[in-house]
Amino acid sequence: MSTRVIGSAAVLLAVVATMSPAAAQAPVANSQQVVPAAAAVFTGAFGFNFVINVVPTIPNDYPITCTATVSPVDVSALFTSETKAVVAVRNGNTATCSFAIHYAWTLSGGSTMVNTTYTVSALPSNPTGAAGSLVDRISAANLPSIALPPNGGSASRVVNVTL
């Protein structure tokens, strides 16, 4: 019997065929084949409440922006994320941002955790002035992962930042 070896499955079929030609026709499962779990759509919302202590060196006319990103820890999702940014409401040396990020993710990797990140920035809306005179402030961080809420549910985070 002559067999052209293409891979380990071909070798196995060649060995089985020498023992029983009928057995050589049976499909052979690859032991390293991964069968993905059934995909399901998960929906919900993540609420973010930012409380920002604004340092006195940031001019009152600088808009402060809050941005948050949520992404599931899921091997099937390549890279899925949702991001939202809003302008903060400023009152003296305190600013606040509150918003929700709604999501609808197709997941199949059995994920139960979500990564969250944020950025808070104060950048001039109309930069003018001498070189080096602008005050740009940015605070960004990865927050601890949180549990994926039950389907249709929500979770919230409070983020305290000094900018």
- Note whether 69 and 79 are within 8 A (CB): no
17 and 51 together in one domain: no
Burial of 41 by CB count in 10 Å (0-12 exposed, 13-18 middle, 19+ buried)? exposed
Look at the chain and report how many structural domains it folds into: 2
- Note whether 119 and 140 are within 8 A (CB): yes
Three-class SS state of 90: strand
Measured at the CA of 142, the angle between CA 120 and CA 44, to 5 degrees, comes to 90
9 and 54 together in one domain: no
Whole-prediction pTM value?
0.71
54 and 21 together in one domain: no
9 and 72 together in one domain: no
pLDDT tens-place values along the chain, 163 residues long: 443 333 333 333 333 344 444 444 444 444 444 445 677 888 999 999 999 999 988 888 889 999 999 999 876 656 789 999 999 999 999 999 999 999 998 887 677 899 999 999 998 776 665 555 566 889 999 999 999 999 999 999 999 999 9
114 and 57 together in one domain: yes
pLDDT value at residue 31: 41
110 and 88 together in one domain: yes
Three-class SS state of 119: strand
pLDDT value at residue 144: 94
78 and 157 together in one domain: yes
- The residue segments making up the domain with residue 157 are 40-125+133-162
Three-class SS state of 137: strand
